[in-house]
Structure 1
Amino acid sequence: MITENQHDIVDMLIIGGGPAGMFAAFYAGMRQSSMKIIDSMPQLGGQLAALYPEKNIYDVAGFPAVTAGELVSRLEQQLSLFPVQVHLEEKVQQVVKEEERLFRVVTDKDVHYGRAVIIAGGVGAFEPRQLELPEAKAYAGKGLHYFIKDLQAFSGQDVVICGGGDSAVDWSLMLEPIAKSVTLIHRRDKFRAHEHSVEQLMKSGVRVMTSMDVKALSGDERLEGMTAASRRTGEEVTLPCDSLIVNYGFVSSLGPIAEWGIEVQQGSIRVDTRMETSIPGIFAAGDITTYPGKLKLIAVGFGEAPTAVNNAKVYIDPQARLSPGHSSHMKLK
């Protein structure tokens, strides 16, 4: 991190320090562009670092499996090859286009200037979907969890996981050799997770209960048991439960981004094939974007980041080449 005056104009202001934002900053360095990363979190890595550092990630090329924490660490190592100003715990409130090739980004702490902006804010402001039971709040932090940061904390426990997506299935498989027992409860009869992961789940020792709803939680000072009911018959099953992990996804919103004058579609930023938004000079990459055929995968964000950077480079300097060629032809040192 360099210490020059943060009001100096940089080439690219990158809003968001998750995987897409970190890779965008690295690639900006590859294009010999100056850059800043601005993020509201206390550390780089976005959701990967904040919510599930021990979760395996499977959609990154070259890694059959890599934990979220290790992936963030690798991205930090990659980013260290170039000077980059990192401003953490700053919430971006406004993005103003002062003139062509000059943007002012106002945070709750400071003001930053850049010739182009790349928004890589993940899913925007987010919070987990809560378990809708009147007693749920009483067990928050006392056996009821929405995130996992330490797998070993569940050693020897009876664990119940709710959900049918990749997170629920992956956590079930990762906790099976650690916990005393793992039960996966899903509200539907089909899973949204990747087919290979579901196949592994069905071959594992995880107890799988589909078409079931969580009906009640029990325990004195902390969670001790839970009751689920069949959506078909109404028959109830009571299970011992030291920890209940709820993976119902997130409720997200663009927050202040929705007020910046950028075209938004169903809660995401609309971009073209150059990853440019409706405002020339403002680009976006990662889960926050939308376009026909968009997939919200880390691998996709890693592809969108260089596209955004290369086109931002041309926006800043119309004489610049869109692509410098393959990275194997470039010298990093």
Structure 2
Amino acid sequence: MSEYDMIIIGGGPVGLFGAFYATLRDMKTMIIDSQDELGGQLVSLYPEKMVYDVGGYPGILGYELAQKLVEQAKMFSPDIRLKEWVDWIQKTDDNMWLVKTDKGNQFKTKTVLIAMGIGKIMPSRLGAKGELEYENKGVYYTVRRKKDFEGKRVLIVGGGDAAVDWALTLAPVAKSVTLIHRRDQFRAHERSVKELFQVATVYTWHELKEVKGDGNKVTQAIIFDNRTKEEKTLDVDAVIISIGFKGDLGNLPKWGVAMKGRDVIVNARMETNLPGVYAAGDIALQEGAPKLALIAVGFGQVAIATSVAKKYIDPNASLFAGHSSEMDKFKKV
């Protein structure tokens, strides 16, 4: 059975920076993430959105920031497991932690860092006929790369900021954009809604009934007026269902870690109530400090967590090992 100094639960921005910092300090590290790509919410929810509140970047696309963080995290070669979910952790007789995943795999580690953000990101689905059949074959829940929709006929379902923003973002590159919303009132910013009607075909009081295709890709969508039940068949290449996401914490509340609501309670050292288990980022609620769900805050928290974990593993280690620019190991050889 593989043994680690630290297993990081979550491959979002905070988990990635934590992996960099832990491996920088010679800790054998693994990242486990439920998604098929590292980057967390940056790639799942905001890949084409600009991020302005990370130091050093006046503005950067979410997906680009994620790739920079992945590159940094991989500098000292942590192990990475994707499309895998940590189902359980339990203390072992030799004072380590046994980490069990939904794939039936088990790993031993001296410390655990919980950096799962809002949890496993799950899209809200409509349940329309053909939706699951054509998922990732023309049915999507977000836009990871704008260029994937170039020249395509796109149908967007939703009436919130995300749905309207995707319509405005794709209108210049897509062949056509149609948006349907089940009401005539939008939850998006008024200025964006006004612009929406100028660049897209909009059907209010309409819902998605069925997605049709040739087995490999989407070719049509059937929509209907929820007042009259009148149906329309649209020729489309892609359907983006933008009605929200939810975070699944799985069995985390059963691990014995102290929580308040959906947050893991930590002290100033980012320690949970379980020895050797830490939390940082959006999932962490630091005692006596205001909660700010910012990437920049998570970076600071995870630097503290990994430093404290290093000293937990090796009491002779320094809590602060110095600046990375002073470490010979930081330089690639």
TM-score by length of 2: 0.74
- The DSSP-based 3-state class of the residue aligned with 2:6 is strand
* Contact 1:229-1:237 at 8 Å conserved across structures: no
Q: Distance in 1 between matches of 2:297 and 2:163?
A: 21
Alignment-mate amino acid for residue 123 of structure 1: I
Correspondent of 2:16 among 19, 22, 30: 22
Alignment-mate amino acid for residue 10 of structure 2: G
* Contact 1:56-1:65 at 8 Å conserved across structures: no
* Equivalent residue number for residue 140 of structure 2: 145
Listed as ranges, the matches of 1:252-271 within 5 Å are 252-271=247-266
Alignment-mate amino acid for residue 117 of structure 1: V
* Contact 1:161-1:184 at 8 Å conserved across structures: yes
Displacement, 1:261? 0.9
Q: Distance in 2 between matches of 1:293 and 1:238?
A: 50
Q: Distance in 2 between matches of 1:224 and 1:90?
A: 33
Please say if 1:128 is aligned against 2:136.
Answer: no
Correspondent of 2:111 among 109, 112, 116: 116
Alignment-mate amino acid for residue 81 of structure 1: M
* Equivalent residue number for residue 306 of structure 1: 303
* Contact 1:254-1:268 at 8 Å conserved across structures: no
* Contact 1:161-1:182 at 8 Å conserved across structures: no
Q: Distance in 2 between matches of 1:131 and 1:168?
A: 14
- The DSSP-based 3-state class of the residue aligned with 1:55 is coil
Correspondent of 1:159 among 155, 162, 177: 155
Between 181-190 and 281-290, report the one with greater CA deviation.
181-190
- The DSSP-based 3-state class of the residue aligned with 2:173 is coil
**How many residue pairs get matched?**
316
* Equivalent residue number for residue 320 of structure 2: 323
- The DSSP-based 3-state class of the residue aligned with 2:251 is helix
* Contact 1:226-1:241 at 8 Å conserved across structures: no
Q: Distance in 2 between matches of 1:35 and 1:147?
A: 31
Correspondent of 1:58 among 40, 51, 59: 51
* Contact 2:111-2:276 at 8 Å conserved across structures: yes
Residues 30 and 325 (structure 1 numbering): CA distance in 2 closer, same or farther, change over 3 Å? Answer: same
Please say if 1:73 is aligned against 2:67.
Answer: yes
* Contact 1:20-1:286 at 8 Å conserved across structures: yes
Alignment-mate amino acid for residue 39 of structure 2: G
Query: 1:204-243 CA deviation, whole Å, 9 max, x = no partner?
Result: 7545979x6543546765534645679xxx9x99896734
Correspondent of 2:267 among 268, 272, 278: 272
Q: Distance in 2 between matches of 1:98 and 1:111?
A: 12
Displacement, 1:42? 4.6
Q: Distance in 2 between matches of 1:324 and 1:228?
A: 64
- Root mean square deviation, CA, Å: 4.0
* Contact 2:157-2:163 at 8 Å conserved across structures: yes
Alignment-mate amino acid for residue 309 of structure 2: A
* Contact 1:157-1:180 at 8 Å conserved across structures: yes
Aligned-residue identity in percent: 36
Alignment-mate amino acid for residue 31 of structure 1: R
Displacement, 1:67? 4.0
Between 88-97 and 20-29, report the one with greater CA deviation.
88-97
* Equivalent residue number for residue 7 of structure 1: 2
Q: Distance in 2 between matches of 1:122 and 1:285?
A: 8
Q: Distance in 1 between matches of 2:201 and 2:258?
A: 42
Which 5+ residue runs of structure 2 have no aligned equivalent?
A: 214-218
Query: 1:274-293 CA deviation, whole Å, 9 max, x = no partner?
Result: 32222132111233334564
Residues 256 and 152 (structure 1 numbering): CA distance in 2 closer, same or farther, change over 3 Å? Answer: same
Q: Distance in 2 between matches of 1:110 and 1:160?
A: 39
Q: Distance in 1 between matches of 2:70 and 2:211?
A: 43
TM-score by length of 1: 0.74
Displacement, 1:20? 1.8
* Equivalent residue number for residue 82 of structure 1: 76
* Equivalent residue number for residue 169 of structure 2: 174
Q: Distance in 1 between matches of 2:211 and 2:108?
A: 54
Alignment-mate amino acid for residue 143 of structure 2: I
* Contact 1:159-1:245 at 8 Å conserved across structures: yes
Displacement, 1:129? 1.0
